[in-house]
Chains A and B, each alone.
Chain A
């Protein structure tokens, strides 16, 4: 038997981390992320030029609208980088070079998901810094509350991404995009039968509150975090089950 240092199978982290790093390296080359981020920055920049900003609660309005734009942008990025992670590996047969090694299919999925989270986190931080910077530059105000809004939208994006990963083990990327759009809208609609099955994404929409400078209560943040984690765990478990049954 070979003499190379082997890490026991129980050490999931080593393999998942390697896959996650690869997702990040791949994402760095995805133009859609740069285009979305740049487009978002552009909207931030032109926002204060809108006539309505001449009157009233200028900082609040700017913060609210900028967060709204970032909210949509990060959801778009979450869908764009998640829908193809698994199907592309299968279609291009790169998955064979991974799963022929001592990697469980669940490790593979978790690695993919962790990589996506890092990319979403980086995009969120960039957008948060940009909004913070614009508020400081235009209105000379320090608005730390913006980062609360960014953190909540990160949780929502993480949820959307877990849903996209789940659907990607079952359907084509095109179907997945439509499923994600449906998931997003149902999640933001108050009412309907599906809202009892799918998570209420509206829970994470705190833009208006944080734009007014209100600090979110710790309980609310913790509840939201647990709420998101519970759904993410369920989505990833189903995804893992589905991938384990998949014929490659």
Chain B
């Protein structure tokens, strides 16, 4: 199966208040997560990311559209292959980590011996081997988040859906979470990651969809979305004072003896030749891309005026 998750034209409105006024939560959202890839769902608070995930998992019924998990229509049976880490997860406080994992394992119909083996392995993986017998009610926020990952993996899922996994974690916890998710993806698991931590998404996802006000305003491979056009940055050490910038140089800056020149692709060869002939030493030449943050701000701002972008 080449698609782990397909969301087709999902729309959902909520009825709010006494008069049951309708508020659009998501409109015509279509996403496709290729098997084995990491797909990032980005957007500001209230963009519709969590609603989309809730529909994907069957917590909410869409007004229209459909969800397919590994090609099967969404149903409890299809969720045998799914692991889910909710945003700021909460668990039964009276159960200890081992008993809770055993409970979640039972919900998948996993046999007792397998459950025990799996619980041990998962608690080790998420660094909770020392807290096996500690009731979850006494776990810190970070520990709960790590336990959340363990419970999401109890069935060794092929598709992992994680909603704001870094939420509530300290910087070290965030790095550990990213490492863990990277390792899981390396094992072949498909991951749908909802986040507003842009760094998390930029360094980790193969594809992203950016949502705002319930719609997808951009989607595609990160490299293509961040492509700023045919523009290059050239770093030069010891650029002679006699060197005069060629006409095509867009921008020039100096930091600690290094000159940074920005130039269009068509003029790059000419610029490099000019620097070399003047005796300057070229340290680095690279294609300029936007940061995800820049793209995000640009798109979310632009989406107020309507319009959607696509790439890849």
B18 near A: Cβ within 8 Å? no
Please state if B79 and A22 are interface contacts (CB–CB under 8 Å). Answer: no
Most buried by B among A25, A93, A97: A97
B41-49, B53-61, B177-185, B248-256: which lies at the A interface? B53-61
Known: A2-B81, A4-B114, A94-B91. A248 touches B60 (CB 8 A): yes
Please state if A102 and B77 are interface contacts (CB–CB under 8 Å). Answer: yes
Please state if A96 and B155 are interface contacts (CB–CB under 8 Å). Answer: no
Task: Provide the residues of chain B in CB contact with A15, threshold 8 Å.
Answer: 106-107, 109
Known: A2-B157, A9-B77. A100 touches B60 (CB 8 A): no
- Counting contact residues on chain A (CB < 8 A from B), the size range is 20 to 34
B84 near A: Cβ within 8 Å? yes
Closest to A22 in B: B103
Flag B74-100 by CB within 8 Å of A: 1 or 0 each. Answer: 001101111010100111101100000
Give the B interface residue count (CB, 8 A): 37
How many CB-defined contacts (below 8 Å) exist between A and B? 99
Residue among A92, A102, A104 making CB contact with B80, cutoff 8 Å: A102
A219 near B: Cβ within 8 Å? no
Task: Provide the residues of chain B in CB contact with A104, threshold 8 Å.
Answer: 76
Please state if A11 and B92 are interface contacts (CB–CB under 8 Å). Answer: no
Task: Provide the residues of chain B in CB contact with A93, threshold 8 Å.
Answer: 86, 89-90
Task: Provide the residues of chain B in CB contact with A49, threshold 8 Å.
Answer: none
B126 near A: Cβ within 8 Å? no
Residue among A17, A25, A100, A247 making CB contact with B57, cutoff 8 Å: A100
Interface residues of A (CB under 8 A from B): 1-9, 11, 14-15, 17-19, 21-22, 25-26, 29, 92-94, 96-104, 247-248
Complex A-B: 10 CB contacts under 8 Å: A1-B81, A3-B156, A4-B156, A7-B108, A9-B76, A25-B94, A94-B92, A98-B107, A100-B59, A101-B107
